[in-house]
Amino acid sequence: MAVAPPSYCFVAFPPRAKDGLVVFGKNSARPRDEVQEVMYFSAADHEPGSKVECTYISIDQVPRTHAIVISRPAWLWGAEMGANEHGVCIANEAINAREPAAETEALLGMDLVRLGLERGTTAKEALDVIVALLEEHGQGGNYYEDADSCHSFQSAYLIVDREEAWVLETVGKYWAAEQITEGVKCICNQLSLTTKIDAEHPELRSYAQSQGWWTGEDEFNFSKVFSSAEDHLDCCAGKDSIEKKAESITVQTMIDILRDKASGVCIDSESFLTTASVVSVLPQNRSSPCIHYFTGTPDPSRSIFKPFIFVDDVKLVPKAQSPCFGDNDPAKKEPRFLEKPDRRHELYKAHEWARAVIESDQEQGRQLRKTMLELEKQGLEAMEEILTSSDPLDPTEVGDLFYDCVDTEIKFFK
């Protein structure tokens, strides 16, 4: 069975999170050399009967899709994590379970992240979208750009809006979900739901019984029933990191958690690296905008979190987008992945230089990292002003916010 990469997702609700804010974060652990891009797609209307081409399969399109901003491995259609214009954030985790994931090409967990964002105006609505599509199309196919072997996984999701969060865990088409409205929650690459289940597939328990995994007599514990034998049922690194924070959780606290290599939350191993990260802040007061901070580059401890705000006229950021290979992309041709094209975007290439300096030259590296954190701090302070201001947001001021931050970062590295 393929090893699931140790990613972590977090959410914190008031009063554990500060000032009436919901704070969401994710580190995306993926194969070390994989490039992630940050993409914005505006809201769109679609012709009746039209199809949407996901990573491996096409499915029916809906009449209207919401505006989204996502971080995704550059070879696929879906997303590791992202947000939509309605303040819904979703991240997913690759999971191993008692039942091996299908290698047959279907929807990837990452496709379902994007579909949930495009079609859901609330966290619960996004959850309903994901489980309906799971029922109709199933999940399966290679999670990695690898011609030599198929790495397929089941999926878990953290789906968050300004009011609540849902942890959704899936095995094939079967699923269970828990609603969260207070405190903190961490999910990782293991099943975590136990006996508190607030929504589930109608045949979940009968399926578990038919497989001989549950007697029907003792209390139904989702993780116990569906986890593979070797899984330890805790995400202790992430859980400890967020629960040990005595102070109230802010954007900065969440960034610090994601940067923590000692705890294992920020992965940098032989096989895997945190290839991109995101932190979102969702004010419960609807007159304040949601703000989403993306790195678009690997290793959050050596990256800058850059803010994005949804407005009508968002400026696209080609420098954080990978080259497009169209129908010639080896990920789209069968047999797949026979070649690995260079998917590095301009921001990634500039950042590679910075990572090399930080790793090799102690003094220059220290100075460089200090300046990077200073740049980030300026962005965080400017966003703090927007959140605490009583004046309405001026869309013309923030339409090119992410664009400007990426541009500044690249110029600074040069």
Per-residue DSSP letters for 92-109? EEEE--SSPPP-S--B-H
End-to-end CA distance of the chain: 43
Token pair 């959050």 in the structure block, residue: 300
Alpha-carbon distance of 180 to 175, in angstroms, equals: 17
Q: How far is CA 368 from CA 186, 350, 375, in A?
A: 32, 13, 11
Determine the distance from the C-alpha atom of residue 413 to the mean position of all C-alpha atoms in its chain, rounded to a whole number. 26
Single out the residue of 243, 307, 247 nearest to residue 280, CA to CA. Answer: 307
Selected catalytic residue, list 9, 150, 186, 235: 9
Cross-strand pairs, 91 = 81, 158
Cross-strand pairs, 12 = 23, 184
Retrieve residue 99's tokens: 């039942």
Catalytic residue check, 290:
no
Biggest CA–CA distance in the chain, Å, is: 65
Q: Which residues are catalytic?
A: 9
